[in-house]
Copies of this chain bind each other. A is one copy, B any other.
Amino acid sequence: MAEMTMIEAIRTALARALEDDDDVIVMGEDVAIDGGVFRATDGLVQRFGAARVRDTPLSETAIAGVAIGAAAHGLRPVAEIQFMGFLYPAIDQLANHAARLRNRTRGRLGCPMVLRAPFGGGIKAPEHHSESTEAMLAHIPGLRVVIPSAPAKAYGLLLAAIRDPDPVVFLEPKRLYRSVSEDVADDGAALALDTAFVLREGSDVTLVTWGAMVTETLQAATSLAAEGLSAEVIDLGTLKPYDRAAIRASVARTGRCVIVHEAPLTAGFGAEIAADLAEHRLTSLLAPIRRVAGYDTVMPYLRLEAHYMPSTARILDAVRSVMEFA
């Protein structure tokens, strides 16, 4: 066990995967000698060589396409897109190929690739460096979308993603890269995909979130506890396919649900969760389902960024409104 930040946990998982399986390769812009712009791959090229840790030319379409071809031919590529804002040119390859290859060949060719990308705002980055477009990816059938919220989860989920026989988009909340650390055992144990994590049990209201927003959501839960309100906090972990059962079960008990995400409200992934509950847990609901989300606008440049990000205060307001609802 060693105390690690999320970036260290990711690096440790990558090293473990490279160590365990010769078919694993790491590729992306600046992942080799530079160790990745966030240092997720620091030291890997020195340890595993330039054939397995590869700097790519600046071409996201090719990064995704090469990963697909390599995966279909037996490798397990872990490709990095430097920031999620630059992932769009890879979507064609992801949606039209990675997500379909197994299905359209009726299982003959698989696509065991991982596409990593740091995502989300709150680090005062330049324009286009703060997107959260997980909902777009989660709409693509055949793709898994996995988002860790803490170092140990990052380690275990990344190993699971790499070992999974199907394509996984692994989105890393960059705001958490260095903001928290915890003990992580480099024991090669993967965590289960498609399974939500209950971060905190509670009985009055269910708070559902993922990625960096766990921070504000847990803060809100702590504040609520001080007021005598017991909030259950669920971290999705995997967005697609997500653990509907866990959320339904929780809301069946609490009767109230607030969903928190940083991405814009409209057609964000929170909508899916609310819609599922409105179909399957309507009679359990004691209050409207509230979504606390980014506004339906472009992430502002850094001077206004803080006003865009869902805050603990906004979460608390939403929780209070559902608690007061009668």
Contacts and interface: CB of A to CB of B under 8 A. Distances in A.
Contact of A271 (B95, B104, B271, B282): B271
Contacts of A270: 275
A139 B136 contact: yes
Interface stretch (A34-42, A44-52, A171-179, A260-268): A260-268
Interface string A257-295: 000000110111111111111111010010111110001
A274 B259 CA distance: 14
A266 B241 contact: yes
A291 B275 contact: yes
Contact of A267 (B138, B289, B295): B138
A104 B267 contact: no
Of the candidates A103, A138, A266, A267, the one having the most CB atoms from chain B within 10 angstroms of its own CB is A267
A197 to B, nearest CB: 20
A269 B103 CA distance: 24
A141 interface: yes
A117 to B, nearest CB: 14
Contact of A297 (B103, B128, B272, B288): B103
A278 B277 CA distance: 9
B92 A96 contact: no
A313 interface: no
Contact of A89 (B89, B263, B269, B291): B89
Contacts of A28: none
Of the candidates A264, A269, A275, the one having the most CB atoms from chain B within 10 angstroms of its own CB is A275
Contacts of A85: 96
A263 B96 contact: no
A271 B275 contact: yes
Nearest to A277: B278
Contacts of A264: 139, 141
A296 interface: yes
Contacts of A296: 141, 241
A288 B298 contact: no
Nearest to A103: B298
A100 interface: yes
A185 interface: no
A77 interface: no
Contacts of A295: 141
A156 interface: no
The 8 closest A-B pairs by CB, nearest first: A88-B92, A274-B275, A278-B278, A271-B271, A271-B275, A139-B267, A136-B136, A282-B288
Given A136-B139, A266-B272, A271-B275, 5 more contacts: A103-B297, A104-B298, A104-B301, A136-B136, A279-B291
20 contacts: A88-B91, A88-B95, A100-B298, A103-B297, A104-B298, A135-B135, A136-B136, A138-B266, A138-B267, A139-B268, A141-B295, A141-B297, A240-B267, A241-B296, A267-B272, A271-B272, A274-B278, A278-B289, A279-B290, A282-B288
